[in-house]
Amino acid sequence: MSAPSMTLFHNPASPFVRKVMVLLHETGQTDRVALQASQLTPVSPDPALNEDNPLGKIPALRLADGNVLYDSRVILDYLDHQHVGNPLIPRDGSARWRRLTLASLADGIMDAAVMVRYEVALRSPEKHWDAWLDSQRDKIRRALALLEADAIAELTSHFDVAAISVACALGYLDLRHPDLEWRKENPKLAEWYFEVSQRPSMIATMPKV
């Protein structure tokens, strides 16, 4: 077995990192990537990561030639061009833009959920900005409602960049925001997630925290 040719700055609790890991499993590329642990918050950066990604955010992927890719959307696109199977990101046409739009919606859920997590976990309760927290949670609820109403058939059709992104977003809600009880208002999405969460790639990347 050859040594890994790429290095991924990695934290298993990050839903953005998990997207990359799921794609690596789905495309048989896990052996090509070494994982470099990166523990950080907005106020506690990782100096090693900052050297490769000035934004100080994960995931970041160092390639064999030393170049570094970020963010997760760029990394997914790159890795999807590195395997011989069917692409998980449509290469062109209306399907490409639709699947990327659904993936971006999932990224928005992750963004809002991570920001809520930071506000609640890193700031004392008397400093919480309640109106801002409510606004972020409303973004999540609106996005979930759209997926419930308009995207179940599409998500079910193929476990690609859209489905991977939505699955990782829902997994993060379970991990960090069980109080949102997202399944109550989104039963079709919950049924879909129950099925895809049994995939080997999802089981292998489930955060153990």
In this structure, which amino acid lies at residue 50? N
Ranges of H-type helices in 27-92: 47-52, 72-80
Q: What is the pLDDT of residue 42?
A: 75
pTM higher than 0.75, yes or no? yes
* Average pLDDT for 39-46: 80
For residue 62, the surrounding DSSP H or E stretch is: strand 60-62
Contact (Cβ atoms closer than 8 angstroms) between residue 207 and residue 18: yes
62: β partners: 7, 68
Per-residue tokens: 141: 């609820």
Q: For the segment 48-71, what is each residue's pLDDT rounded down to a tens digit?
A: 888 888 988 999 999 999 999 999
Reported as a pLDDT band with limits 50, 70 and 90, residue 105 is very high
Q: For the segment 143-200, what is each residue's pLDDT rounded down to a tens digit?
A: 999 999 999 999 999 999 999 999 999 999 999 999 999 999 999 999 999 999 999 9
State the helix-helix crossing angle for 15-26 and 93-122, rounded to 10 degrees. 140
pLDDT at 209 over 70: no
Reported as a pLDDT band with limits 50, 70 and 90, residue 112 is very high
Calpha distance 149→93 (Å, rounded): 24
Decide: residue 70, CB within 10 A, 0-12 exposed, 13-18 middle, 19+ buried.
buried
State the helix-helix crossing angle for 72-80 and 93-122, rounded to 10 degrees. 140
Q: What is the pLDDT of residue 118?
A: 92
